[in-house]
Amino acid sequence: MSRRWRLEKIKHVSRARGLLFRIAAAVLGLFFAVIVLAVLGYAPISMGANALGYTLGTSFGLQDLGTLVTPLLMTGLAAMIAMRVNLWNIGGEGQFYMGAWAAAGIGIYVSGPPVLVLLLMFLAGGVAGALWIALPAYAKARANVDEIITTLLMNFIAILWVGYFASGPWRDPREIITASSYKIQYALPEWFGIWNIGIFIVLIIFGLCWVLFNKTVWGYETTYVGANSTSANYAGIPAARRIMTTMLLSGAIAGVAGMLEVSGTVSRLQVGISSDFGYLGIVIAALAAGSYLGIIVAAVLMAILLNAGIIFETQGLSLNAVVALTGWLLLSVGIAQVAAGYSLKRIATKA
């Protein structure tokens, strides 16, 4: 008899095991990044300390962190909600853009009490995001058209649409360097002069989504559809309807993220307003593995990485190197998430 090693898939991966693997991967990924930077002649320890010190130890750093965390939380939540019905919403970027566009239109051309106008901007952003995913959602629910392709293609249309308005009819002629709209006069109130109340709006939305999916019949049925839509139909659950409503909710949340960006951070509709928040949200949702707390942790870590990357650039590290190192860390954690589903066992075989 001889023995050899074999990988076996684990039927149920505990959250503790998944978390342990992701933490180990992040540590190993950081260790590798430190080695690479040292070989290239940089001082990675001092660079990292300076970046963290600025990000977490100064009011400007915390303000930058907040401006990144808010949209990342929302787009990550939007992507995770679509995953509840076993679908991929790759169109968060486009829904973000359309939410920003609709909210900017209200903010520029509607006058009234600030609270009322901001509420209208919020509703407009959510509706625009939902409408932008409506066609892919209907195509998926009724004809099983691949939602990955349709939502992705809608992104390009949204970006061109916003670019047209920001550089055309709505353009502020005083803005010479960047094509952007007239300034929006209605802004979310600030909290202690560091973050605006958008972060609290996000946390409220998180709480409402948790209750909706975990404490209601609708949420139970949606989870059932995500596990097996055919079985759900036999059980009397309208799978197509649940897919539609879940995808519309996903798009609405991404659209609200765009509204929070124009009303809380940028104050204008700009070309490139998203900074790839929609695509980064997909990564965050994948890393969170269906956990609301995981979304928060992944979004905060992503924001710290992005903010640290800006600091690294000021210390001589090129943008391409920053992007490569960030991608390596995310890839390491993603691989660990898959690896957590397998175990290495030694089995006996005949000689």
For 74-106, write each residue's pLDDT tens digit. Answer: 999 999 999 998 899 999 999 999 999 999 999
- Parallel/antiparallel/unpaired status of strands 342-349 and 190-191: unpaired
Question: Which pLDDT belongs to residue 118?
Answer: 95
- Residue that has been written with the tokens 């629910």 in this structure: 141
Q: Where are the domains of the chain?
A: 12-42+322-341, 59-316
Which residues on adjacent β-strands are paired with residue 9? Answer: 342
For 108-141, write each residue's pLDDT tens digit. Answer: 999 999 999 999 999 999 999 999 999 999 999 8
For 277-301, write each residue's pLDDT tens digit. Answer: 999 999 888 888 788 988 998 898 8
Question: Which pLDDT belongs to residue 73?
Answer: 95
59-316: what fold?
ABC transporter involved in vitamin B12 uptake, BtuC (1.10.3470)
For 17-28, write each residue's pLDDT tens digit. Answer: 777 887 788 788
Backbone angles phi, psi at 144, to 5 degrees: 60, 35
Angstrom distance (rounded) from CA 258 to CA 277: 10
Handedness of CA 263, 265, 268, 273 (dihedral sign): negative
Angstrom distance (rounded) from CA 117 to CA 263: 11
Q: Which residues touch 229 (CB under 8 Å, ≥6 apart)?
A: 85, 86, 239, 243
Q: Which residues touch 150 (CB under 8 Å, ≥6 apart)?
A: 91, 135, 136, 139, 140
Residue 71: name the closest of 204, 255, 311 by CA: 255
- Residue that has been written with the tokens 């909710």 in this structure: 249
